[in-house]
Amino acid sequence: MHTLTTIEKQLEIRCRKEIKEIVSKFIFDIEKLEEQCGVSSNSYSFDTKDSDLIYLKSHSLQHELEWMLNKEHLSQMIKLKSEDLLKKLDLLT
């Protein structure tokens, strides 16, 4: 039988995969837009609060978005999936 830690770890893996899929779709949509517009961006620039300019290559943009979403949403996603799983288990009893 799986321990609670193993189940939680599997939920975390699923949540990270879900975030990765969301970001991959977003990046795909950006590439599709660039193709429609006849533009190809090798990097993206961002202004920060300090007025410094940050440049990210496409693959770095994907990595940063995944990191940001994992940092801000992963624990809540795991919590919600855990609660959902507990509700389903409760229905079985």
Q: What is the pLDDT of residues 44-92, one digit of tens each?
A: 777 767 666 666 777 788 999 999 999 999 999 999 999 999 888 887 6
Structure confidence at residue 7 (pLDDT): 87
User: Is the residue at 64 inside a domain?
Assistant: yes
What is the torsion angle, in degrees rounded to the nearest 10, for the CA atoms of residue 35, residue 39, residue 44 and residue 47?
Answer: -120
DSSP 50: T
Residue 26 scores a pLDDT above 80: yes
Residue 1 scores a pLDDT above 60: no
* Parallel/antiparallel/unpaired status of strands 53-57 and 43-47: antiparallel
User: Is the residue at 39 inside a domain?
Assistant: yes
User: Is the residue at 93 inside a domain?
Assistant: no
The answer to whether 78 and 11 have CB atoms below 8 angstroms apart is: yes
When divided into structural domains, the chain yields a total of 1
* Boundaries of domain holding 73: 4-88
Q: Which residue has the higher pLDDT, 17 or 90?
A: 17
Compute the chain's Rg from CA coordinates: 18
CA–CA dist 6, 28 (Å, integer): 33
User: Is the residue at 17 inside a domain?
Assistant: yes
